[in-house]
Amino acid sequence: MRVVFIGASTLAILTAQTLVSRGHEVVIVEKDQSIIDTLSETIDCGFLHGDGTKPAILREADPQETDFLFCLSGDDQTNIIASLVGRSLGFRRVITKVDDEELEHICIELGLTDTIIPDLTIGRYLADIVDGQDIMELALTIKGDARVFSFVASREDEKPISELGLPSMARVVCLYRDEEFLLPEKDTRIKKGDEVVVLGHRDNLDALQQRWGLHASKD
């Protein structure tokens, strides 16, 4: 696999080192040349000097030949912009890190469904351990061609789930309304602002992304 990182943050460096050790091709985009000079002595990967939010720089990273774009800089705004630019340039999968949990909903509205909030994720995981639960068990159950997709409902989506027009191999499995977890029925009516979680076949991801991937909620 070929993986491109935006920003040489601690998380990016640790992840890059692990990927390199496993034989993956890694490129780190960093605008500070001195950081590149230092890292080039310890990590056997490619480096690209420049601003990862700029289309010209990301084009040099070769989107069509890259499997993952990880936007893991220490600045939330940089990561969001780089993710949007990267997606527009055709990177196959874009992972966005934000530290401000209030931005999670915004990222989903922008179609950045692969958004991670490190502290929040770790906190939830530790709390689940205390409660005797293991979220890794859920990850292991999503096997084969199954994929999870989520979107924030707009006014156009205010209708019963059965009328959303989902692909045949896709189902709404849950939704979050005002931060409350809900298990819906077919006649449950979606409301504007709901975060809707869909489980479906990977072949349906393109159709779901085209319909809701850029679908910010509208007034």
Task: Give the residue extent of every domain in the chain.
Answer: 2-122, 142-213
Contact 212, 205 (CB under 8 A): no
CATH 3.30.70.1450 corresponds to the domain 142-213: yes
Beta-sheet strands, E only, within the chain: 2-6, 25-30, 46-49, 68-71, 94-97, 115-116, 146-152, 170-177, 180-182, 195-201
The dihedral region occupied by 112, where left means phi > 0, alpha psi between -120 and 50, and beta the remainder, is beta
Please tell me whether the overall predicted TM-score, pTM, comes out greater than 0.75 for this model.
no
CATH 3.40.50.720 corresponds to the domain 2-122: yes
pLDDT along the chain (219 residues), means of 10: 95 94 96 95 95 96 95 95 96 93 87 85 71 60 79 91 92 90 91 91 85 52
Going by C-alpha positions, the residue among 87, 35, 89 that lies closest to residue 62 is 89
Q: How many CB atoms lie within 10 A of CB 94?
A: 27
